[in-house]
Amino acid sequence: MSKPKVLISDKMDPNAAKIFEERGCDVDVITGETPEELKARIADYDGLAIRSSTKVTAEIIDAATNLKVIGRAGIGVDNVDIPYASSKGVVVMNTPFGNSITTAEHAIALMMALARQIPEANDQTQAGKWPKSAFMGVEVTGKTLGLIGAGNIGSIVASRALGLRMKVVAYDPFLTEDRAIELGVEKADLDTLLSKADFISLHTPLTDQTRNILSRERMEAAKPGVRIVNCARGGLVDEAALKDLLESGQVAGAALDVFETEPPAPDHPLFGTKNFICTPHLGASTTEAQVNVALQVAEQMADYLVNGGVTNALNMPSLSAEEAPKLRPYMALAENLGSLVSQLAHGNLTQISIEREGAAADLQGKPITAAVLAGFMRRYSDSVNMVNAPYMAKDRGLDVREVRHDREGVYHTLLRVTVATSQGDRSVAGTLFGNEAPRLVEIFGVGIEAELAGHMLYIVNEDAPGFIGRIGTLLGENGINIGTFHLGRREAGGEAVLLLSVDQPIPPEVERKACELEGVKVVKALSF
C-alpha cells in the first residue's frame, strides 16, 4: 500500500513534517500559494494541514479528490467549509487546547498594554521624546474584567485575571453556575456585564449569534471608559463603531489581534486612532504553542490516515488509537448490517434503530451508528463514508435511534439494526466470533449464522425437501460457484432462509430463474 500524502500549506513548526514522516506519511510543505495554485495541486493529497491562512472552500474541496482529512494546527476552523467537507466525507480536526494558554496570555498582555499605553509610550520614547507626563495609566487591581465567552481560553484568562486581583464577570450561555463557582467568576447576562466591566475581553468563536456581539449600541451601553480586547475573531466587534467610540472617549482603549478582514487594508480606519493598538493575529504565536499544535495536528492526522484513529474531529465522533482496533470489527459488522437491511427492506425507510447488547453496550455508540448509516446509505451514494453518512441520513429525514441493553442475550455481544417499513419492523442482528470475526446471526426474525462478504444470494422459500438440490443445480448450470451455504428457518415446514456466498455477481436472469423455482418466495442478489 502506498503511503498517505500530506500537504502542509501554512507556516508550521518543522516538528509537524517530522512527525508525519515518522508516522508513515509522505509530506510536502508548500506555503503561501494562491487558491488557484492550491486547487491545482490538492488532488494529490490525502491530508491537508493548515493554520488560519489557507481558506479551504468548497471549490478547493471539490478539487481534492483524494482528501480524507483536514487538520487545523490551532483552534478556529472558520477558514474551512466544514459542512461541505462533511458532505464529501472529509474529516476536519483541530487542536483545541494546544494554543489556549498562549492566546489567553496574549489577551492579558494586550489588556496590560492598554492599561499602561505601552505601545504609544514606547514609540514616543524611542522617537527621542521623554513624554513622562503624557501617559497616565490605570491599575487593573480591583477592576472588573468582563469575559464574553468562558470556554477554554476565557477560563484561562479568568484565572490569570483573578491572579492580578481583578473581579471577573462572565457572559456565556453555556456556562453553568457550578462551573462559574469553580472558576471564581460571576455569571452574568450581557447587559449586566456591559454595565460592570472596566475591561472586556472576547473569547467566543464567530457564529451567527456572536457576529457583532459588541455592536455600536452595546458599546454605547457599556460603562464609560471601558477598554476592549479581542483576541478571538474579527467580526465580533463593530470596527467602524469602535473608531467613533474611541474618538468620543466612550471606549478608552481597544486592542485587536484579529480583524474582520485579514490582513486589514493598509488604510484601515482604526489605524492611527488614539488609544487603539493591534497585533497581526499573534494570539497563538509562541514557540511553545506552535510546537504543541504542530505535533498534535501531525499526530492526529497520521493516526487517522495510517490507523483510522479519530481525535478532535469536528464532524465525526472521536476514536482513540486504543479504541480503534477494538471497535474496528464492530464497525465492519455494523456497516454490513446497515448494508444488508438497506438491500433487503423495501419501501420508504424513514426510521432506523441501532441496538447494542451485551459487550457492545459498553462501547462508544456514535462510531457504530455512523458505520451502520454508512452501510445503509451506500446504495444511495458511492461517496458515502462514516463522516458524511450521519449528515446524509439527516438530509434524507431518516430518524436514527440508538438503544443500549446491558443485559447479555444468547450472544455475549450483539448489534441489531431495525428499520421501520410499511410491513412493520424488519431487523437483522450480528455478533463477533472470538471478539473479532463479524457474523450475521439473525435475519428478519430467522436465526442463521453467516459471514457477510462479497457476492451473496438471499432466498426465502417454503421449507420442503429437494429445494437445496434445485438451487444448487440452477447455479451450477449457470457457471456460478457456491462458496458458503447457510440455512435457517422459522419452524420445520415453515418459511426457510437460504444465504449463499458465490464467487461472482449473480446475473439478473439467474435471479429471475431462481424466483421461478417451486416454493420460492423472495430472491435477492446481495453484495458487500
Ligand X SMILES: NC(=O)C1=CN([C@@H]2O[C@H](COP(=O)(O)OP(=O)(O)OC[C@H]3O[C@@H](n4cnc5c(N)ncnc54)[C@H](O)[C@@H]3O)[C@@H](O)[C@H]2O)C=CC1
The C-alpha angle 101, 116, 198, rounded to 5 degrees, equals: 70
* Burial (CB count within 10 angstroms: exposed 0-12, middle 13-18, buried 19+), residue 208: exposed
Cis status, amide bond into 390, omega within 30 of 0: no
User: Is 436 among the residues known to form the active site?
Assistant: no
Binding partner selected for residue 51 from ligand X, ligand HPV, none, CB under the kind-specific 5 to 8 Å limit: ligand HPV
Q: Which is nearer to ligand HPV, 74 or 146 (CB)?
A: 74
Stretch that binds ligand X, among 12-20, 96-104, 131-139, 348-356 (CB under 6 A): 96-104
How far apart CA 246 and CA 457 sit, in angstroms, is 76
Binding partner selected for residue 451 from ligand X, ligand HPV, none, CB under the kind-specific 5 to 8 Å limit: none
Please pick, from the candidates 9, 15, 52, 353, the single residue that binds ligand HPV as defined by CB under 6 A. 52
Assess 80 for contact with ligand X (CB under 6 A): no
Assess 74 for contact with ligand HPV (CB under 6 A): yes
Do residues 459 and 441 touch, judged by C-beta distance below 8 A?
no
Assess 203 for contact with ligand X (CB under 6 A): yes
Assess 228 for contact with ligand HPV (CB under 6 A): no
Assess 76 for contact with ligand HPV (CB under 6 A): yes
* Burial (CB count within 10 angstroms: exposed 0-12, middle 13-18, buried 19+), residue 510: buried
Which triple of cell numbers denotes residue 441?
446471526
φ/ψ bin of 445: left (φ > 0), alpha (ψ from -120 to 50), beta (otherwise): left
Which triple of cell numbers denotes residue 431?
455478533
User: Is 281 among the residues known to form the active site?
Assistant: yes
Phi then psi for residue 120, to 5 deg, are: -70, -40
Binding partner selected for residue 299 from ligand X, ligand HPV, none, CB under the kind-specific 5 to 8 Å limit: none
Do residues 301 and 90 touch, judged by C-beta distance below 8 A?
no
Count Cα neighbours of 472 within 13 Å in the Cβ-side half-sphere: 8
Stretch that binds ligand HPV, among 151-159, 279-287, 391-399, 424-432 (CB under 6 A): 279-287
* Residue with the three cell numbers 420460492: 520
To ligand HPV, the closest distance from the beta carbon of 115 in angstroms equals 24
Please pick, from the candidates 164, 179, 186, 205, the single residue that binds ligand X as defined by CB under 6 A. 205
36, 182, 217, 262: the active-site residue? 262
Do residues 296 and 284 touch, judged by C-beta distance below 8 A?
no
Site mask for ligand X (CB under 6 A), range 307-346, x = bound: ----------------------------------------
DSSP 505: P
Please pick, from the candidates 17, 75, 241, 310, the single residue that binds ligand HPV as defined by CB under 6 A. 75
Report the DSSP pairing between strands 455-462 and 520-527: antiparallel
To ligand HPV, the closest distance from the beta carbon of 28 in angstroms equals 19
Assess 75 for contact with ligand X (CB under 6 A): yes
CB atoms within 10 A of CB 181: 11
Q: What is the 3-state secondary structure (H, E, C) of 383-399?
A: CCCCCCHHHHHHHCCCE
Please pick, from the candidates 79, 87, 95, 100, the single residue that binds ligand X as defined by CB under 6 A. 100
Binding partner selected for residue 153 from ligand HPV, ligand X, none, CB under the kind-specific 5 to 8 Å limit: ligand X
User: Is 335 among the residues known to form the active site?
Assistant: no
Please pick, from the candidates 145, 284, 352, 459, the single residue that binds ligand HPV as defined by CB under 6 A. 284
Q: Which residue is nearest to ligand HPV (CB)?
A: 74
281, 426, 439, 489: the active-site residue? 281
* Burial (CB count within 10 angstroms: exposed 0-12, middle 13-18, buried 19+), residue 179: middle
Given the rule CB under 6 A, which residues bind ligand HPV? 51-52, 74-76, 99, 281, 283-285
- The footprint of ligand X (CB under 6 A) covers 74-76, 96, 99-100, 103, 148-154, 171-174, 203-205, 207, 209-210, 231-233, 257-258, 281, 283-284
Q: List active site positions.
A: 233, 262, 281
